[in-house]
């Protein structure tokens, strides 16, 4: 199992995962929502990592896919830094596991590997969030050293957001 940069090499598995996600809101997937093709998406995540052509209010971010034996399991997006607005309504790391692979410990392992990547980017204190009702994600965060900070209400969302800090030195 490894974190890899998104690649056309894994297109079929990635497209199968997208079909599994269906209409589910996918955390850490802004680039997916802003692109109409996989090719566009691959180019967007490449530019995001370089900080090129970022939308207003966005910061550089790196996306990785969790792969095992050529199979897409999930993805993680790591923001290189936070703005005051992102500290309030965002996080350093967003992630999602493909529905058919959930409940098998991959989220915990992927976040552990993502924290190493974040450390190499100089992110020594990581803010990470989850919906209050997402018990599985909360457990993933806590298993990786997440310390509860607070619960906030986000305008337009019915579910409160839980915020955690992870010391990543």
Work out the mean pLDDT of the chain and round it to a whole number: 92
* % of the chain at pLDDT higher than 70: 98
Q: Is 128 in contact with 168 (CB distance < 8 Å)? A: no
| 134 located within any domain | no
Q: What is the pLDDT of residues 146-163, one digit of tens each?
A: 999 999 998 888 899 999
Q: What is the mean pLDDT of residues 49-72?
A: 95
| 90 located within any domain | yes
Q: What is the pLDDT of residues 82-137, one digit of tens each?
A: 998 888 888 999 999 999 999 999 999 999 999 999 999 999 999 999 999 999 99
| 155 located within any domain | no
| CA distance linking residue 164 with residue 11, whole number of Å | 33
**Which domain does 34 fall in, by range?**
2-123
pTM given for the model: 0.92
Domain count, the chain: 1
**CATH code of the domain covering residue 72:** 3.40.630.30
Contacts of 4 by beta carbon, 8 Å cutoff, 6+ apart: 10, 64, 65, 67
* CB atoms inside a 10 Å sphere around CB 71: 17
């Amino acid at each position: 199992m490894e974190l890899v940069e998104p690649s056309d090499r894994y297109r079929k598995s990635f497209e199968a995962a997208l079909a599994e996600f269906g209409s589910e809101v996918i955390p850490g997937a802004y680039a997916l929502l802003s692109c109409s093709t996989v090719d566009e998406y691959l180019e967007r995540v490449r530019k995001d990592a370089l900080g090129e052509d970022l939308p207003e209010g966005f910061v550089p971010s790196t996306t990785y896919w969790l792969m095992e034996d050529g199979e897409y399991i999930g993805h993680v997006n790591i923001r290189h830094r936070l703005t005051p607005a992102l500290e309030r309504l965002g996080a350093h790391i967003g992630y999602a596991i493909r529905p058919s692979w959930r409940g098998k410990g991959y989220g915990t392992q992927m976040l552990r590997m993502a924290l190493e990547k974040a450390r190499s980017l100089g992110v020594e204190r990581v803010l990470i969030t989850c919906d209050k009702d997402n018990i599985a994600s909360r457990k993933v965060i806590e298993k990786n050293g997440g310390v509860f900070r607070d619960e906030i209400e986000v305008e337009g969302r019915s579910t409160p957001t839980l915020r955690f800090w992870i010391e990543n030195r």
